[in-house]
């Protein structure tokens, strides 16, 4: 039976599992060492066999690659290293033929400094795009107009001699901030949304959306008052004026109006930083805003604990219907290290990987799987001289490199570079991850890949796991329990997020999944069990 939203659109996305593809590192079709769109198309059969609902492709737009695609120079074209618009159209057609939805990344807080809009904006204070970016005069002593700091280190302002003003950038100086307060800028961005919807895209992830608007008065940020360790000037401030502006909600409602014109479009906001939960709620409330919000509760957590999961789940019980919004969860992505390397010691990683997949795929909300997570890939150690990540280079060695989670996908264990490319890969693959290649696990019932496929099939088969409410969430030491409910279907879930065994009495019913040897009476190390109530 088709589920519909209040406005009548098919909600294919609610409870969906979305597979993130980082295009540089997924599959290289032409031997240049960089993944591309034809490579993705060739490997979609693997994604379909997993049993996910959609793919999310990180940026592939024209870019000088200062931040590896998140600095967009042309929103309406494909960078030549990834292919052509025709290649993208072929990818969408193949995905749709296989039953997969296609979502893409849109970066609306900033562009590349190579974008034609910025070239025109910096050329003159009177041009057509003069106020499309955030410009400000220097203070009397020549210093920047306020104390805002960039995420990647140093002041969030760069002097431009052509305009004799500073321009604002929340990330690299190569990523000037768009003045999204300006209606003309919003109109141009909405036209970008229409362009990709016209090409058959089914949804969007909006990168750093809470960074899109700021205090137009350029008020100084206050200092942070906590005693956390800090490695960047950015961490010394509460970003109450440089981001999280309430006007983002108005932009979101305009985006939703455009998307509704095209039917069942999935929209998810990336919301990072302190105080993200109220923003996630605001961005997804009701039926005039985004479908979901993508949180960082787990992505940067130093440890996965029962208490952490219980706290997060408690924010999204699913009892308020559309008023509450709908969350999305991920344990790793292109910015956050591999979860097995962050959260488990070497001896426990295989068992932990099974537990982590089971937990992610039973949380209420959408689940995002990052490429290679289904294989149990570990974080690769990239030496300094091979680093590509600008943040890691700038803050070495105090920032854990994002390159270690962006290394290429291993397809063939016995091939050079894991079968990713016939050339030299843009980042090296470790022997350990090559040994976990798709072909080495495919057909092995004991492998993590088979475990992942089985869990995805289980989620599809049970409405309570896919779209049900979450209740009775409790953490007792390492043991986490909660109940998922949809109509008459009730599934009790128990997880031991720790290395010691625990006795645990599950309610009576049918065990539909048992992880790492768990039983209804015992949770071994990293064990989990799901029990479905059976009608009397």
Run means of pLDDT, 10 residues per run, the chain, 536 residues: 38 96 98 98 98 98 96 98 98 98 98 98 96 98 98 94 97 98 98 98 96 97 84 90 96 97 94 87 93 90 96 82 81 95 95 98 97 97 89 76 94 97 97 98 97 98 95 97 96 98 96 98 98 89
Q: Using CA atoms, how far apart are residues 298 and 311, in angstroms rounded to an integer?
A: 11
The pLDDT value given to residue 321 = 56
Q: Where are the domains of the chain?
A: 17-111+182-456, 470-532
Angle CA 468–102–189, to nearest 5: 105
CA–CA distances in Å: residue 103 to residues 18, 75, 325, 347: 9, 15, 20, 36
Query: Which residues are CB-neighbours of 510 under 8 A, at least 6 positions away?
Result: 531, 532, 534
The pLDDT value given to residue 324 = 75
Q: Using CA atoms, how far apart are residues 121 and 170, in angstroms rounded to an integer?
A: 18
Q: Are strands 165-168 and 135-136 parallel, antiparallel or unpaired?
A: antiparallel
Q: Catalytic positions, please?
A: 207, 270
Q: What CATH number does the domain located at 17-111+182-456 have? A: 3.20.20.80
The pLDDT value given to residue 6 = 33
| Burial of 487 (C-beta count, 10 Å sphere; 0-12/13-18/19+) | exposed
The 3-state DSSP class for residue 367 equals: strand
The 3-state DSSP class for residue 127 equals: coil
Q: Give the H/E segment covering residue 460.
A: helix 448-461
CB 309 within 8 A of CB 347: no
Q: What is the value of pTM for the model shown?
A: 0.95
Q: The tokens 């700021």 sit on which residue?
A: 214
Closest C-alpha to 371, from 329, 420, 408, 320: 408
Closest C-alpha to 452, from 46, 103, 97: 46
CB 205 within 8 A of CB 186: no
| Burial of 105 (C-beta count, 10 Å sphere; 0-12/13-18/19+) | buried
Buried b (16+ CB within 10 A) or exposed e, 159-193: ebeebebbbbbbbbbbbbbbbbbeeebbebbbebb
Q: Are strands 266-270 and 203-207 parallel, antiparallel or unpaired?
A: parallel
Does the domain at residues 470-532 carry the CATH identifier 2.60.40.3080?
Answer: no
């Amino acid at each position: 039976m088709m589920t519909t939203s209040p406005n009548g659109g098919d909600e294919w996305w609610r409870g969906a599992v979305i597979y993130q593809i980082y295009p540089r590192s997924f599959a290289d079709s032409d031997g240049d060492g960089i993944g591309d769109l034809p490579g993705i198309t060739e490997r979609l059969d693997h994604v379909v066999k997993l049993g996910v609902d959609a793919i999310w492709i990180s940026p592939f737009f024209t870019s000088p690659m200062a931040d590896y695609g998140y600095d967009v120079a042309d929103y309406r074209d494909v960078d030549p290293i990834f292919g052509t618009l025709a290649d993208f159209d072929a990818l969408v057609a193949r995905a749709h033929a296989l039953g997969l939805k296609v979502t893409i990344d849109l970066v609306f807080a900033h562009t590349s400094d190579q974008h034609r809009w910025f070239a025109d904006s910096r050329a003159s204070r009177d041009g057509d795009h003069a106020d499309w970016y955030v410009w400000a005069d220097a203070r009397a002593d020549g210093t920047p107009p306020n104390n805002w700091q960039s995420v990647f280190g140093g002041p969030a302002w760069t002097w431009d001699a052509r305009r004799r003003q500073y321009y604002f950038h929340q990330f690299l100086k190569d990523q000037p901030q768009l003045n999204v307060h300006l209606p003309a800028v919003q109109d141009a961005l909405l036209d970008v949304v229409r362009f990709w919807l016209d090409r058959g895209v089914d949804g969007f992830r909006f990168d750093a959306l809470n960074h899109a608007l700021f205090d137009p008065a350029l008020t100084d940020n206050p200092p942070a008052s906590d005693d956390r360790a800090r490695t960047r000037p950015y961490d010394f401030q509460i970003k109450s004026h440089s981001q999280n502006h309430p006007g983002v909600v108005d932009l979101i409602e305009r985006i939703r109006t455009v998307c509704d014109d095209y039917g069942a479009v999935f929209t998810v906001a990336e919301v990072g930083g302190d105080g993200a939960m109220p923003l996630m709620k605001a961005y997804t409330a009701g039926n005039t805003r985004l479908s979901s919000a993508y949180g960082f509760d787990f992505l940067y957590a130093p440890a996965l604990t029962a208490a952490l999961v219980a706290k997060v789940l408690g924010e999204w019980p699913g009892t308020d219907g559309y008023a509450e919004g709908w969350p999305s969860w991920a344990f790793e992505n292109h910015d956050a290290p591999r979860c097995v390397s962050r959260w488990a010691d070497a001896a426990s990683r295989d068992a932990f990987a099974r537990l982590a997949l089971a937990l992610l795929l039973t949380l209420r909300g959408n689940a995002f799987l990052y490429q290679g997570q289904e294989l149990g890939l570990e974080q690769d150690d990239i030496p300094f001289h091979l680093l590509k990540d600008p943040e890691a280079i700038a803050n070495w060695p105090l920032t854990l490199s994002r390159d270690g989670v962006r290394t290429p996908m291993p397809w063939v264990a016995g091939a050079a570079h894991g079968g990713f490319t016939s050339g030299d890969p843009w980042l090296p693959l470790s022997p350990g991850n090559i040994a976990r290649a798709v072909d080495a696990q495919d057909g092995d019932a004991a492998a993590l890949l088979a475990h992942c496929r089985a869990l995805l099939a289980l989620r599809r088969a049970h409405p309570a796991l896919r779209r049900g409410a979450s209740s009775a969430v409790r953490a007792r030491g390492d043991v986490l329990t909660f109940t998922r409910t949809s109509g008459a279907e009730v599934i009790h879930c128990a997880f031991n997020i720790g290395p010691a065994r625990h006795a645990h009495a599950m309610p009576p019913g049918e065990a539909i999944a048992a992880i790492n040897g768990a039983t209804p009476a015992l949770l071994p190390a990293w064990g989990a069990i799901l029990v479905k109530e059976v009608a009397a």
